[in-house]
Chains A and B, each alone.
Chain A
């Protein structure tokens, strides 16, 4: 293999590394969205479980 080929492999490794960070960020985003959804749903459930105020 020539040095240029090694350079080519190194350049692709950097690009693949960047794609992996994007995939990781996507996973984190999905997890955080699921957490907030769960938080909102539990908030709604507790609000509906409370008795309505009597006047």
Chain B
């Protein structure tokens, strides 16, 4: 049942994106792909925050797996969004990076969440690793409202609308579906990895 639901989400996402691409081809101003990408990264950050807090309260490792999966997927989406933003900056002013508030805030956010993954690699003991990572996830989330605020405060060049048009909302929905799919796959991998590690400990003990 869960497998079928995942396949359905994947197919729906592809259909929505194909429909949206046709709309973008007809109206190129809608091609600001990085806005929905950043939106999905924001949703992933909220998921990681909720999962991190849930882990700290319950010590259930499924929440830890969800937090790491959401963080990793969010990082991939944010990286894609930042690269998209670089191309746009290049198109506007001929430079690939402009240190404007929006791109810089997004980069700082990306670095904070990348540190989360590095922290996980640095700590060996599973429950300590999950607890440290959950606390870091809560800390890193403090930057997310700042990124949203910079988007609202520092308006882009005239003629470039940053608001949520129906086409961008549709794109956000499709990308959120892709993100959900990837998060579930990554979460399963994390759970399998944890079971494998405990099995390995048992076999070494035998």
Residues of A at under 8 Å CB distance from B?
A: 2-8, 10-12, 14-15, 18-19, 22, 25-26, 29, 32-33, 36, 39-40, 43
Contacts and interface: CB of A to CB of B under 8 A. Distances in A.
B91 A2 contact: yes
A3 B200 contact: no
B114 to A, nearest CB: 13
A4 B182 contact: no
B83 interface: yes
18 contacts: A4-B32, A7-B34, A7-B84, A7-B85, A8-B33, A11-B33, A11-B81, A11-B83, A12-B80, A15-B77, A15-B178, A22-B189, A26-B189, A29-B192, A33-B192, A36-B199, A36-B200, A43-B203
Can you list the 5 inter-chain pairs with the closest CB atoms, starting with the nearest?
A: A7-B87, A3-B91, A11-B80, A18-B76, A14-B80
Contacts of A18: 73, 76, 182
Interface size class of B (residues with CB under 8 A): 20 to 34
Contacts of A6: 87
A3 B96 CA distance: 11
B152 interface: no
Nearest to A14: B80
B76 A4 contact: no
B31 A5 contact: yes
Contacts of B84: 7-8, 10-11
Contact of B87 (A4, A15, A19, A22): A4
